[in-house]
Chain A
Amino acid sequence: MSILVDSNTRLLVQGITGREGSFHTTQMVEYGTNVVAGVTPGKKGEQVAGVPVFDTVQEAVAETGANASIIYVPAKFAPDAIYEAVDSGVALVVCITEGVPINDMVPVYAYVNANGARLIGPNCPGLITPGQAKVGIMPGFIHEPGSVALVSRSGTLTYEVVDMLTKAGLGQSTAVGIGGDPVIGTSFVDVLRLFEADPETESIVIIGEIGGSDEEDAAVFIREHVTKPVVSFIAGQTAPPGKRMGHAGAIISGGSGSAADKIEALEAAGVRVAQSPSQVPALLKEAIAAA
């Protein structure tokens, strides 16, 4: 068990013949992910890492039974790619693409939800269930199967924490990067709900950052609904207000979105908050022991 992706995932890659798409397809296949199809309009009949390429998602799903999609197409075309996946009945859509206009994502989010699909991202590293399926761009080798679930708004910072967990002997059930944009398909709360229900997940790590109020919402949800031990790290404790820190969503504006507020909210919900990523494994062991 795990959440969202596992050995039953039949993955489709949208934008498979592009530079990013083909590189990461090879990586995912090498990791052992069951990549069943790729789509690039006009490239039907080609193969990437042994994966057949189709012109449309509809066709790829009909031919291969793909049940999840990962998107590597450029930002201008990403919303269209998401619509195409959802309309073809793909239940899980992971959008890696960075730089998608916010206003494009507003109707996309509504459409995905109205059609009962789930979107992860955009501007995210994807997700991984160690030893079963890597649906993203994270380095697979730092992960180990286990019972710690991770959810994060960032990429490399998640790898940092995963690496420390693995080195401390704490394997992971599933690690999900939800993305750093203001409008994303799946929030911390959505993922926490899945982790709480997942029998293979015994503890949870939330890696947040400045901007928005997703961490505060997560804190409220944890207080009311999460019984498993939770540890967190929030990046951007030294970030000045009004400055966008790389991610479009990482900005302290109008007096809200600061790391201090998020840490306070999480601690009030009983979450142990690490001062640096290196403290996460020890805090987690402490939290598990206390649970």
Chain B
Amino acid sequence: MNVHEYQAAEILARYGVPVNPGRVAESPEEASAVAAEYGGTVVVKAQVHTGGRGKAGGIKLAHSPEEAREAAAAILGMDISGHTVNKVLVAKGVTIAQEFYLGVVLDRPNRQVLVMASAEGGVDIEEVARERPDKIVQRRADPVLGFHPYLARELGFALGLPATQVNGFAAIAQQLYEAYMGEDATLVEVNPLILTEDGEWRAIDSKMSFDDNALFRHGETEQMRDFAEENLTELDARNSGISFVKLDGDIGCIVNGAGLAMATMDAVKQHGGEPANFLDVGGGASASQVAKAFSLVTADPNVKAILINIFGGITRGDIVADGIREALAEVEVSAPIVVRLSGTNADEGKDILAKAGLTAVDTMDEAAASVVAAAHGRAD
């Protein structure tokens, strides 16, 4: 789960991070009022769950409340990579002496939490990592004891900070680590973290993502969810234990298991089709799950044909077939359906499907070829 910049800043402030003052506004008038309160220059920033805001014109400087109103009017409603801007953050202007990057992520290969920093702040850190990896310094936290202060200081010295600034930096690095652990984040990032001309640290732009598996113990994070930024269908699916990701093609896919679901999408593509979605019905694949899956897939007007690919393991083929039959009695599906059923009780399942007027094929390749043909309106 992701949150907006202003929400990440709120969380980090609770951990002591010196975030730059700012307030969220949903109208030009509100933006102007915040600017009037702060006085001087403010920055008006689009709040959307995507990068590239600056390049898209979603971040503007304003030197007066009137300019802030105009900037907000221009940014609100803007579309940035498919995300509509509904809120702006009006942040106090600062004079930047030096910019840094500071982030906390999971180091998957080492199964440890990694704190990384760079003196090349304010730019795309992935680009820095690719092109100038020596400009990134990193230290891994002890899995049990955490991120020792000396590790944070080492980062500061490695960045070439003057001795007087190392402790201030190290404190922020530790606060970010504490926030990462305390909030069950999968990413905490401040970019840029700056030194002002007065030698003070300020977190200018904060970003946080969270582990969906840990949301059960973070009700307050769940409260921050911006439904305007969520794909409601995907959220609805998740509430039913189904993993669903909307894609751009026209072949709806219903599969049991995430790996098999990806392989099914690949097979559709190899046979000249485009998957309309990724869908993993989960381990159970009960009648209600299958019915839910049908309603998710058919809600997409682009879907011209549906491929159901089930490998019966613990999930029995006859149970899934029953689910398909019951679901079809409940949900009207006009698109042609191709079913592939294999594994446990596949033959019993096929008999059930035959009574419902559906023919099941044996292999995934066959199924992919048939569904692509069906979607393109050809006989197989």
Contact = CB atoms under 8 A, between A and B. Distances in A.
Contacts of B216: 76
Nearest to B218: A101
B351 interface: no
B214 A102 contact: yes
A95 to B, nearest CB: 13
Given A157-B263, A278-B364, A106 B111 contact: yes
Contacts of A111: 144
Given A139-B344, A278-B363, A239 B262 contact: yes
Nearest to B365: A278
A199 interface: no
A100 B212 CA distance: 10
Interface stretch (B194-202, B289-297, B309-317): B309-317
A207 B257 CA distance: 14
Contact of B314 (A27, A99, A217): A27
B184 interface: yes
B313 A137 contact: yes
Contacts, number: 169
Contacts of A207: 259
B313 A159 contact: yes
A213 B109 contact: yes
A103 B181 contact: yes
Contacts of A243: 245, 278
Interface residues of A, number: 64
A141 B345 CA distance: 11
B267 interface: yes
B312 A235 contact: no
Contacts of B311: 156, 159-160, 163
Nearest to A100: B213
Interface stretch (A30-38, A42-50, A247-255, A283-291): A247-255
Interface stretch (A51-59, A147-155, A265-273): A147-155
A226 interface: no
A158 interface: yes
Contact of B278 (A154, A214, A246, A277): A246
A81 B217 CA distance: 19
B259 A180 contact: yes
A138 interface: yes
B310 to A, nearest CB: 8
Interface string B261-292: 11101111110000100101001000000000
Interface string B207-230: 000011110110000000000000
Interface string B136-156: 000000011000000000000
Interface string A113-124: 000000000000
Given A110-B143, A245-B261, A245-B262, A156 B213 contact: no
B174 interface: no
Interface string B180-197: 010010100000000000
Nearest to B181: A103
B185 to A, nearest CB: 8
Contacts of A64: none
10 contacts: A101-B217, A110-B111, A111-B144, A125-B313, A152-B259, A157-B263, A183-B106, A238-B262, A245-B258, A246-B278
Interface of A: 23-24, 27, 75-76, 99-107, 109-111, 125, 137-139, 141-142, 152-160, 163, 180, 182-183, 207, 209-210, 212-214, 217, 233, 235-240, 243-250, 254-255, 275-278
Interface of B: 106, 108-109, 111-113, 126, 129-130, 143-144, 181, 184, 186, 211-214, 216-217, 243, 245, 247, 255-263, 265-270, 275, 278, 280, 283, 311-314, 342-344, 363-365
Given A101-B217, A125-B313, 12 more contacts: A102-B211, A103-B214, A105-B111, A154-B259, A157-B262, A207-B259, A235-B260, A235-B266, A238-B265, A243-B245, A255-B126, A255-B130
